A = this chain, B = another copy of it.
C-alpha cells in the first residue's frame, strides 16, 4: 500500500509515545503520592506530573494537524525535519517540569516553536496552492 509520509508518520508516533509516557508517569505518581482517582490534587509533585500530561495533550492536538498539513504542502522530509524538534522539546519539558514548575520554559518553547513554524508554513503552502 502506498504510504507517502513515512518520516512524518514516525514523528507522529514519537509524539504519541511521549504523550503516552506522560500518562504512565501520572499513573505511577498516583501510587507514589497516594492520590486515588478521581482526585487530581493533594500533592504538588503529583500535580506537576499531572499538568505535564495535560499540557502535552494540549500541545499534541495543535502539533499533529500542523505537521500533516505542512507535510501535504511541502512533502514528507521537510515536515519531519521540523517536526522532530517537538518530541525532543517535549522530553526536555517533561524532565524540567518534573523537577520544578520554573524549569518548564525551555522544553515548552521547543515544542511550541516547531508547531508555530509548521502552522505558518502550512498557511503559506495552502495559500500558494489556492492562488
Q: Which residues of A are in contact with B by a Cβ distance under 8 Å?
A: 1, 3, 5-7, 9-10, 12-13, 16-17, 19-20, 23, 36-40, 44, 47-48, 50-51, 53, 57-58, 60-62, 64-66, 69, 72-75, 101, 104, 115, 119, 122-123, 125-126, 129-130
How many copies of this chain does the complex contain? 3
Q: Is the CB–CB distance between A10 and B47 below 8 Å? A: no
**Interface of chain A, main secondary structure:** helix
Taking a contact as CB atoms closer than 8 A, the residue among B1, B37, B64, B101 that contacts A72 in the complex is B1
Known contacts A16-B66, A53-B58; A125 and B3 CB within 8 A of each other: yes
**Residues of chain B lying within 8 A (CB to CB) of residue A66:** 13, 16
